Amino acid sequence: MTRVVVVGHGPSAHRLAESLQGFDGTVTILGEEPRPAYDRVALTSYLAGKSAEDLTYPVPDGVTPRLGSRVTGIDRAARTVTTADGAVTAYDVLVLATGSAPFVPPVPGKDLPGCFVYRTIEDLDAIRAAAGTATAGIVVGGGLLGLEAADALRGLGLETHVVEMSPWLMPRQVDEGGGAVLRGHVERLGLTVHAGAGVARITGEDRVTGLVKPDGEVIPAQIVVFSAGIRPRDELARAAGLAVGERGGIVVDEGMRTSDPSIYAIGECALAGGQIYGLVGPCFTMAEVAADRIRGGSGSFTGADLSTKLKLLGVAVAQFGQMSGALDVTYLDPVGGVYKKLFVSDDASTLLGGICVGDAAPYDTLRPYVGKPLPGLPGDLLFTGSGVTPDLPDDAQVCSCNNVSAGTVRAAVLDRSLTDVAGIKACTRAGTTCGSCVPLLQRILVKSGVPVSKALCEHFAYSRAELFEIVQVRGVTTFTQLIEEHGTGRGCDICKPAVASILASLHNAHVLEGENAALQDTNDHFLANIQKNGTYSVVPRIPGGEITPDKLIVIGEVARDFGLYTKITGGQRIDLFGARVEQLPQIWRRLVDAGFESGHAYGKALRTVKSCVGSTWCRYGVQDSAALAIMLETRYRGLRSPHKLKSAVSGCARECAEARSKDFGVIATENGWNLYVCGNGGFKPRHADLLVSDVDTDTLIRTIDRFLMFYVRTADRLQRTSAWLEALDGGLDHLRDVVVHDSLGLCADLDVQIERHVAGYFDEWRATLEDPDKLRRFTSFVNAPGVPDPSISFATERDQIRPVGVSS
């Protein structure tokens, strides 16, 4: 019976142990940490509320783990290892899975209290404890893990700086153009980026007080987190006389064997083909190859796909294939913060690689085509991968984390009659690690002729529309009740905001009431839109754009007294920019006292009903468009929906209010009103379609009521009315049959729902100001209430403020 001993108990060791289940031998894992292997990819979620148990992998059957057992020596002749407590363990096969250690630059002050690395749960515990008495933190390193660490410090309420030696962030994943766009996203969240900068020393005597850059600039901070790369932990191998690389790493062959045939090395400590791999996918493949060889197989590791897709600080970043080519095709939207580039062969026929920042939509469908003929024109593929079908060659890699090909997925679907992505995950492991390949798995299912589940997410087996019905029929009032009775797990950032929207649509509850507060999207947390420098905008409702001089004066006085930037919007409102979070209640108290209410600019709800002056003033007007616009905005204000809603009313066919670019728009006629629906003036403009014509005001309002409630009831999450109509079976004709001719018998129910909304409306900001518990959340730093964020500063331009460091 073969005795396998594994040194190290990280993810690679866990994958090896899983792959050895049923093996005719014993498997003993000696782990240095006090806990078994856990998901390091999701480490940051520990600071966001997940427990250590949530992240911990289950120990495979037949494996004997020995935790807190640091191996201090290997006796290759006797085939034994010794741990720090003096215990000696014999092996027939030894696997080194010692991982890597964070690189800490050898700068003065690096060992001061307040200096940390970002590697283990214990590291995060220490950082969280230190944050309780800190106001600012610095992350040294602007790579993938460094930005995760920066997001963690930001989440702990600290002013956060990122110091990166390279000229741009994430230099291993994006080029200079992508780095510039990524930096813009990061800085808009309130972080300060110091690119092309090193570290001269860490200041402080008894503990950290700051960091000094080589140019002499001092960054004050009480916490410094080093995330400047990793170094393979090969000290045991060196001491045992095993071959190691010139720059570190245990040298292994394609079977993961070291220079001693009875010893293997896997994961971040292994030097395979002259390279150290720091991504989870290649490390898992190494573990599977080593397990196969231990079993007597012939598996080999000949390299790995280093493609990456992730979301850091809310920004989508993806890189696949190589970052150079004979030709490249680039798309840049500096306003929207999107950068995409494809690298292709000199004849533009073969895809070599790509970079995406701000929009990673092309990644899922294009990555498997690396090294293969392009399925369309590069310029077309750069946007959404349109025209690309999942008819991939069998050898195209779908899941880089677990090295699963399209052929393997296709075979699993057909041979095992799989009907959902969960089945593919269980059979192939594809999609079980980072999850970025899940959309492609869904497409392969569709292409295989399998109806794909419309489940909202892994926690609910129902679509958003089905959950809406469940909440309504069962009288569900909380997310906890819904997931306990009709879902699984604890929920995620997909289902929580979606359910919050459903609850708000049906029950008119305050979005910050009770557990609802934890479900909301970012902007709803503070009832305001966060801006690029970490401040917030204030947008009071001005129905129809009509406002009295007295109210205009109040807005002007508030803007003057709080030093805010003012802007008249295209939706006939006045936006006030530059408010710090702790100022929001003070600003809104004055606005509410003057008769203003929330404009819901932060929510998935009705924004505005734009209008012209209509027949009251205009010589061409045939109906009172301003009065109707005010009536509609007052009626539908606060209506929570799957996505934002915009409307307009034009007083004649000249269409000054641009009603046909809105979710619902009204144009006056000599005989009444024409109603247009499902328009969109955004990223993908769409003219609205005529639903009814020449109707009277009562019929118009009744039709809009039913249209809105049918949309709220049946649309998918974050689906605009334009996309909803295009996906609706039967399209406009079906919509007309439902809301005008009552073909489904739903209209009475829709009427009741909208009347319940109208009767139950209340102003969220007024209710917030009357509730001390809700007001407690309005603070820049949870550990220093009332202290303004010192990182926020402004310059003056055109007699108004603008964020410092942000180009106009």
Binding site members for [4Fe-4S] cluster: 612, 618, 652, 656
Counted residue by residue, the chain has a size of 808
- State how far the Cα of 234 lies from the Cα of 202, in Å rounded to an integer: 28
Give the residue ranges of DSSP H helices in 547-605: 549-562, 584-593
With a CB cutoff of 8 Å and minimum separation 6, the contacts of 636 are 606, 609, 645, 647, 704, 708, 757
Which tokens sit at 315?
A: 């920004």
- Shortest CA distance to 413 belongs to which of 401, 421, 402, 404? 421
Strands, DSSP E only, in 639-747?
645-650, 664-669, 672-677, 689-695
- Shortest CA distance to 566 belongs to which of 597, 596, 544, 540? 540
- State how far the Cα of 302 lies from the Cα of 39, in Å rounded to an integer: 25
Residues 648/666, Cβ–Cβ less than 8 Å: yes
Q: Count of alpha carbons within 13 Å of 394, Cβ hemisphere only?
A: 5
Burial of 578 (0-12, 13-18, 19+ CB in 10 A): buried
Which tokens sit at 250?
A: 């245990």
Radius of gyration for the alpha carbons in the chain, expressed in angstroms and rounded? 30
- Which residues make up each annotated binding site? 612, 618, 652, 656
Residue 775 is given by DSSP the state H
- Shortest CA distance to 647 belongs to which of 520, 543, 493, 737? 543
The percent helix, strand, coil of the chain (3-state, each to 5) is: 35, 25, 45
- Which residues make up each annotated binding site for siroheme? 656
Which tokens sit at 184?
A: 């813009």
- Shortest CA distance to 613 belongs to which of 647, 637, 567, 649? 649
- State how far the Cα of 304 lies from the Cα of 114, in Å rounded to an integer: 37
With a CB cutoff of 8 Å and minimum separation 6, the contacts of 95 are 4, 5, 6, 7, 13, 16, 263, 264, 265, 266, 290, 294
With a CB cutoff of 8 Å and minimum separation 6, the contacts of 51 are none
- Shortest CA distance to 767 belongs to which of 536, 585, 518? 585
Residues 100/231, Cβ–Cβ less than 8 Å: yes
- Shortest CA distance to 762 belongs to which of 503, 510, 528, 590? 510
- State how far the Cα of 361 lies from the Cα of 316, in Å rounded to an integer: 9
